[in-house]
Amino acid sequence: VINPNPQGGVTYLFDDVTAQFHLQSSFNALTRVQSETLDSLKEGVAVFGTDGRHKFNNPAFEKITGYSADEVIGLEGRFLVRDDLQQPDLEEIRTALREKRAGTALLRNYRKDGTQFWNELHIFPVEIVVDYTDLWCLLVLVPLYFYKPANANFRYSTITYYVISAMALLAIIAT
């Protein structure tokens, strides 16, 4: 700020914005890391708001389901289940959502083209305020490409890297 002095001279006021610059740089770097992490996951990730509507997803979600983000943003979370509501594990998801706790389910889901796929769904409650909207449900889809319903043991022998990815994702989103 420059203020001319009526008796002569000029007063200069300086503001050191170094800390603000470093904070902004750190924020930008973290945002890039988060974006790269989400984009590189093989698991489909979707975020739903407290209203149950789809807010965000990563590219893997689009690849697994066949839906683009533009098609699903704002839809309720059950669009992948369609009318196939008589699935035992759906009650586990409903209960976990009501209690705002983590939950896992083995579900029959349907892609945009109508083809069925088995999905090991993991939900995690996350409380983050973004643009005054409290986002609290993070879904991680692990498609089971080789699942056979008769093989009950397969459910617990699926690829376990989703745990590492999901926890890393939660840590990234929460910071």
pLDDT at res. 68: 96
pLDDT at res. 38: 80
pLDDT at res. 66: 95
Residues of the chain with pLDDT under 70: 1-2, 127-139, 141, 143-175
Quote the CA–CA distance of 77 and 85 in Å, as a whole number: 13
pLDDT at res. 2: 67
User: What per-residue string of b and e applies to 128-164 under the rule 16 or more CB within 10 Å gives b?
Assistant: eeeeeeebbbbbbbbbbeebeeeeeebeeebeeebee
